[in-house]
Amino acid sequence: MTKTRVTARAHTNIALIKYWGKRDTELFLPMNSSLSLTLDEFYTDTTVSLIEGNSDQFVLNGELQEIKEINKISQFIDLFRKVAGHQSAIKVESTNHVPTAAGLASSASAFAALGTALNELFELNFDQTTLSTFVRQGSGSATRSIFGGFVEWQMGTKSDGSDSCANKIDNADWNIAMLTIPVNTGKKEISSREGMKLTVETSPFYPAWVEQAGKDLITIKEAISQRDFIRLGEITEANGMKMHGTMLGATPPFSYWEPLTVKVLQRIREIRGLGLPCYYTMDAGPNVKVICQANQADQIKQLLDDTFPNNPTIISGVGRDAYILSAE
């Protein structure tokens, strides 16, 4: 090993075909394939350094983390150390450029950046797709943050997860943007992990969700290859709402929707009615994301901000692949 300190950047992503439910909770193997758009506005920068001693260190947003957080990171680093045949302790310094006000999860960009940095530090030379199978074991959605543009996470079929990996589908360089309307950025009552588990175990809608997500993936890839924005949007909106429908089918039923969520969804439909194509999706939380055409993003943001002045919309363009910022 010739490097002692590497910094990498990875962007967050928003799924258009949702990942919802695990077939293996240890390996983060999903029940269905998913497809996302990587966002340039939200990212994590992570520096990994070789350090003396036996214990890893973890500094997040300038704060030294507690043992529970360090252990999670150490287990993740172990995946790379094992392949590298290296025992060195690592210091991880990570900064999330995902504003709390956006209400987005940062685990996708965080594990993608960490994995990208470790791949370089340990000189493992994993290609991006292989690397995606490693970062998957930190956070499922991190799998997709290895790539920019429209990214597919193929669920795979192998029990060891080696074929549950990401691939870039398209650069998304055809006038695509995404808006984030923060509704509530506080802690959720039900984590996405808990929500997935409850849905998989109790919702009679779940098998149909898995089947439909497979179909939606095929049709959205057609829409992307044809650069058919309207169809892309319609499939995105239908798929996201289906995911939320599975939750109402759970026992007990649950929902991430808040009163303001419903208002925002209504307003998006109104704006669409004005002739501005835009389509919503929601993850396991109350915040709303909207895919739109980049040249109309400012106009749609203005309409939303007029209606929701306390919840300013954030515009994001398309993010690039995870990459190395510096290595020494």
Give me the residues that bind its own copies (CB under 8 A), please: 204-205, 207-209, 211-212, 234, 237-238, 241-242, 244-249, 251-253, 255, 257-263, 265
Q: Phi then psi for 290, rounded to 5 degrees?
A: -130, 125
Query: What's the min distance (Å) between Cβ of 146 and its own copies?
Result: 31
Residue 173 or 211 with smaller CB distance to its own copies: 211
b/e string for 39-66 if b means 16 or more Cβ within 10 A? bebbbbbbbbbbbeeeebbbebeeeebe
Residue 207 or 312 with smaller CB distance to its own copies: 207
Query: What's the min distance (Å) between Cβ of 233 and its own copies?
Result: 11
Q: Is 7 helix (H, G, I), strand (E, B) or coil?
A: strand
Residue 3 or 254 with smaller CB distance to its own copies: 254
Task: Give the distance, in angstroms, between the CA of residue 82 and the centroid of all CA atoms in the same chain.
Answer: 26
Return the amino acid letter for 267.
Answer: R
Q: Is 71 helix (H, G, I), strand (E, B) or coil?
A: helix
Residue 23 or 242 with smaller CB distance to its own copies: 242
User: In 63-148, where does DSSP find H-type helix?
Assistant: 67-84, 107-121, 128-135
Residue 127 or 270 with smaller CB distance to its own copies: 270
**How far is the C-alpha of 176 from the C-alpha of 164, rounded, in Å?**
27
Query: What's the min distance (Å) between Cβ of 208 and its own copies?
Result: 4
Query: What's the min distance (Å) between Cβ of 67 and its own copies?
Result: 33
User: Looking up tokens 């429209």, which residue turns up?
Assistant: 150
Residue 128 or 255 with smaller CB distance to its own copies: 255
Query: What's the min distance (Å) between Cβ of 312 and its own copies?
Result: 19
Query: What's the min distance (Å) between Cβ of 15 and its own copies?
Result: 16
Cα dihedral value 246, 247, 252, 258, nearest 10: -150
